[in-house]
Amino acid sequence: MSDAFDPVVIGIVSVSDRASSGVYQDQGLPALQDWLTRALKNPIRFEPRLIPDEQERISAALVELVDAGCSLVLTTGGTGPAPRDVTPEATLAVADRVMPGFGEQMRQISLAFVPTAILSRQVAVIRGKSLIVNLPGQPKAIAETLEGLKAPDGTQKVPGIFAAVPYCIDLIGGPYLETHEAVCKAFRPKSAVRPPRG
């Protein structure tokens, strides 16, 4: 079954002073891993990192994950306006190109839930053949941002950002990601859709 889908290596990074020092249990990495496992049909190898809110260490982890072959790197935490929130700066420091549409859409989704969404500074960038995206810190917000908003009848009201991720990774030369539509329907132009294999 899994031969029908390209394998993918995904970096997941939780940025938290307190979780990385053991003050409390990290919830970001399990939330990311759970959602991606439910959403993707591809065999996934995760590269997890739990690091404090230190810009140089975050940047170094992102570079390390891209160099290790991660086509997608998702971070959680450290994107607010507090002095220790430096994940966006660390991400922009290693960027080849910035993808502003991701941050714009993430804030739109979050605004449907909380007015403080405008305080979020999440960014997305491309480095080499990898897409790096900053996500919110709370597990519920992570899922909402990736999946988007659905109406009570299950129709999509606001697209989640992950709908655009597989095609973005196609365009930068990564593996062909396929999603479980019940979780998140990936969007590709018809010309970019690959016929089912095996």
pLDDT per residue rounded down to tens, the chain (198 residues): 446 899 999 999 999 878 878 778 889 999 999 999 999 999 999 999 999 999 999 999 999 999 999 999 999 999 999 999 999 999 999 999 999 999 999 999 999 889 999 999 999 999 999 999 999 989 999 999 999 988 888 777 888 999 999 999 999 999 999 999 989 999 999 999 998 765
pTM (predicted TM-score):
0.94
State the DSSP string of 86-102: -HHHHHHTT-SEE-HHH
Q: What residues contact residue 19 under an 8 Å CB cut-off, 6+ apart?
A: 25, 26, 27, 28, 50
Question: Is 70 within 8 Å of 33 (Cβ atoms)?
Answer: no
What are the helix (H) ranges across 2-99? 17-20, 28-39, 55-67, 87-92
Q: What is the pLDDT of residue 1?
A: 42
Q: What's residue 19's pLDDT?
A: 82
What's residue 18's pLDDT?
83
Closest to 130 measured CA to CA, from 198, 82, 78, 61:
61
Query: For residue 3, what pLDDT is reported?
Result: 67
Indicate the fold that domain 2-192 takes in CATH.
Answer: Molybdenum Cofactor Biosythetic Enzyme; Chain A (3.40.980)
In this prediction, residue 198 carries a pLDDT of 54
